[in-house]
Amino acid sequence: MCELLGMDCNTPTDIVFSFTGLARRGGATGPHADGWGLAFFDGPAARVFIDPQPCALSPLAAFLREHPIKTLQSVAHIRRKTRGRVRLANTHPFVRELWGRHWVFAHNGTVKGAKTLPLRGRFTPVGQTDSEHAFCWLLENIAHKFKTPPADGGELSGSIAKWAGKIAEHGTFNFLMGDGSTLYARCDTRLWHIVRKAPFSTASLEDEDVTVDFSAVTTPRDRVAIVATRPLTKDERWERGQPATMWVFHKGALVDTLASGAPSEKALRILASERGAPVSDR
């Protein structure tokens, strides 16, 4: 399947360190060679780069690693296709407008029954993936229930978690979705996060010989949340997501963890195997 990477911060930050590790998994240290994408927010607008080439070999990916772009929120994806051909239209992350803001979405997994979810017509897929169809259905539900941005962010988060759980009834639904202000991250089978804040330490990538001393490039007030399908560093403590839960991040902080449907048998098997325990011991 694919791999996800998200960043949410309280001060503009570049994602070069984490993206360098993810890029290596896109056709070098990993098999996710069917395209990649990276989105940066600048206020309500997202600057989105997508490429159907393997990320590890892409000149565009190399350019973005060599030319840092600071942002408060970013979403990245490396693809290993299950549904839809290798082409630009099927490359994540996908972007749509709602309430005068861009919303960006990237998915890991296969939702075989996604296209049975009815669309009303405002949001229409460009490609053939189950992922983009699920994203359109999710946005249609949000737009239908909330004509304007709700004053209570908790009500919106709760609704997204509920509808995401409905989609997950049709298959595996790990995703990242953000609007430049709030980042939603749902764990179905695998998802990890870390919040870097003072006192900052040194971190080394798993997939590349790169080490950064964050204390030398941050201020004491900085806070950065990183979400990934698998931990990107080997010397930091990452927190594993529980199946059928959704994290909500704002300004680099984890502000809520919500139930989102029911854990699938596949998710429970994976969790049990990673803990070295039989499923019946859960």
Along the 282 residues of the chain, how does pLDDT read in single tens digits? 789 999 999 999 999 999 999 999 998 888 887 899 999 999 999 999 999 999 999 999 999 999 999 999 999 999 877 666 778 999 999 999 999 999 999 999 999 888 899 999 899 999 999 999 999 999 999 999 999 999 889 999 999 999 999 999 999 999 999 999 999 999 999 999 999 999 999 999 999 999 999 999 999 999 999 999 999 999 999 999 999 999 999 999 999 999 999 988 787 787 777 766 443 322
| pLDDT, position 268 | 78
Which residues have a Cβ under 8 Å from the Cβ of 88 and sit 6 or more positions away?
35, 50, 51, 52
Q: How far apart are CA 182 and CA 9, in angstroms?
A: 10
Q: Which residue has the tokens 């290596």?
A: 24
Establish whether the linkage from the previous residue to 93 is cis, with ω within 30° of 0. Answer: yes
2 is catalytic: yes
What's the pLDDT at 282? 26
Which 8-state DSSP code applies to residue 105? E
What domains can you pick out in the chain, each with its CATH number? Answer: 3-108+174-281 (3.60.20.10)
Q: How far apart, in whole angstroms, are the C-alpha atoms of residue 61 and residue 204?
A: 20
Beta bridge partners of 204: 211
DSSP string, 231-260: -SBSSS--EEPPTTEEEEEETTEEEEEEE-
241 in Cβ contact with 185 (< 8 Å): yes
Give me the pLDDT at residue 68, please. 94
Distance CA 111, CA 9 (A): 30
